[in-house]
Amino acid sequence: MVFLVYTVGGRFQAVNLFPGSYDVWVEKEGFASDKQKVEIGPGRNATVDIALRVSDTGPAQARVGGMGGGGQAQQLREVPYDELFPNEPGRRVLEQSCFVCHGENFIARNPRPAEAWDAAIKMMTGQGPGMERWDTPILDPNRFTAEEWAAVRAYLTKYFGPAAQRRSVVPAFRSPVPLDEKALAKAQWIEYRLPVATAPFNKRRRVAQEVHFDNKGGVWFTERGGESDFAGRGPGGVGRLDPVTATVKDYPHPDQYGDAHGLTVDKEGFVWWAGRPDYLVRLHPATGEVTRFNGEKGTGHTPATDTKGNIWFSVLAGNKIGVWEKASNKVTILDVPNAQARPYGLFVDKQDKVWFAEFHGCTVTRYDPATKQFSRFNAPSAPCRIRRLGGDMDGNIWYGNNSAGKLGRVNPRTGEVKEWDMPAQPGQPYDVWPDTKGNIWISDDGVEPAVMIKFDPKSEKFTYFPSVQQADMPKVQIARDGGIWYTPRSGQGSVGVFYEGVSTMEPTPHDVETASYRLT
């Protein structure tokens, strides 16, 4: 486990710690510190003093949370675009395909061997194992010639092979992350590291995608799978974290090439996930029984429940949405009006209207099952990429403009769409989710370090909280105690929770018995 807190006035405090041995260190740009061993025992708090020394990390260095290795933070070198991506055969295809959705830094931060790049290309073009069910691949394999695809493979292997250093492009413009020390003084991050090279996944790397709660306090997450090294090789599936005991139970996909992407848990406790090669998969946690729901073609992306117990889902690759109807136990697939939409994140509001983000359409779309009508709300900053949606208590729909660094809001009653520029740039808001107080929480890995952001619609103020790792956080979920759960997908495999104020943290059993363990 990793705990992260912020120093204010030279002091810090971490609360609700598990008993055990901890490595403690401080990170500050331009400084370094030695790790200190601290033992936290039952019924005993601890205090540690740490000295910083000047350490020149050099120019064009960005902090990357390397805490997963238990050592000092790694350094991510920023280089000019043409130096990172030399103008050689292969670059043009990358610019017209991979970069459109993922951006250039995703490749530069995730080097891998030639066979893994080959597997990734096959997956995206619908030609790899388990891809035969894709109705429409993400990338048309015929868009480029065989020679051009071969050039891409060679280019990626040459410049982003396993020996390559993780790097990023020097931003064309940058505005710093604003920090509010008063707010940081109350905050705390906790990350639960997922076990590697253990049954049933036996992976050298864990890649958790999304989180969702059950009604017993468990935190479920999807595990990516497939042949790509990004997914650690082997099947995906789901897992359940018990935050009290810090234990994880994994449930692998029955297909060796199976991949789990989106996740939800219904009122009866069944766990549903969407991903390759199925529309939906249902898990009975008590028995381990798995039921797969498929059609002729197509794979699911993001599922969500409605008030009737139906499961709605987006079909990114097939440009559709679908629903599993509880009454009939059947799946129905619906075409969407925009041929270039690529439905991504999906959300069902309190009136059972289905909302989804058009990833390639730069639009938020509503589907009314009662009237069978689609309504589209265009973002004012088109063209753009929108990934995820969230609905607040007033019925507004919030989204992140992932490619333009903006936060957006759709008012369904008036049709108004409003956007706010985010203070720190280049911003890449991924998910947005309102809390019960009306604040909007945003995960953003475009800036460095990656951050969780609170936006207050009344004051229009953004508050930034630097995260544990420089990694994207594709989905956030907010618990009753205010904890914001997430997964750092492109970082070290973990399930994490962020608390804006540690006073809201619900004590776990070990806390109650010993009046809390603290490190100051």
- Tens of each residue's pLDDT in the chain, 520 residues: 999 999 888 899 998 888 899 999 998 878 889 999 999 888 788 899 999 999 865 433 334 343 333 333 445 788 999 999 999 999 999 999 998 888 888 899 888 899 889 988 887 887 876 566 555 677 888 889 999 999 999 999 999 999 998 888 888 778 889 999 999 999 999 999 999 867 777 677 889 999 999 999 999 999 998 655 454 557 889 999 999 999 999 999 988 878 899 999 999 999 999 988 889 999 999 999 999 998 666 689 999 999 999 999 999 988 999 999 999 999 999 999 999 899 999 999 999 999 999 999 999 999 999 999 999 999 999 889 999 999 999 999 999 999 999 999 999 999 999 999 999 999 999 999 999 999 999 999 888 889 999 999 999 999 999 999 988 999 999 998 899 999 999 888 999 999 999 765 554 433 323 223 445 4
Task: Look at residues 476, 482, 492, 416 and name the one whose alpha carbon lies nearest to residue 444.
Answer: 476
Structure-block tokens of residue 204 = 């050298």
Strand order in the sheet with 247-252: 208-213, 219-223, 237-242, 247-252
Specify whether the CB–CB gap between 472 and 430 falls below 8 A. yes
How does 436-471 read in b/e, with b if 16+ C-beta sit within 10 Å?
Answer: eeebbbbbbbbbbbbbbbbbebeeeebbbbbbbbbb
Look up residue 110 and give its DSSP letter.
-
Which residues have CB under 8 Å from 87's CB, separation 6+? none
pLDDT of 297? 64
Residue with tokens 């800036």: 447
pLDDT of 72? 35
Q: How far apart are CA 455 and CA 381, in angstroms?
A: 20
Burial bucket for residue 205 (CB in 10 Å: 0-12, 13-18, 19+):
middle
Q: How far apart are CA 482 and CA 45, in angstroms?
A: 25
CA triple 142-387-140, angle to 5 deg: 5
How does 44-70 read in b/e, with b if 16+ C-beta sit within 10 Å?
Answer: ebbeeeeebeeeeeeeeebbbbbbbee
What are the φ/ψ torsions at residue 250 (nearest 5 degrees)?
-105, 150
Specify whether the CB–CB gap between 124 and 138 falls below 8 A. yes
pTM: 0.87
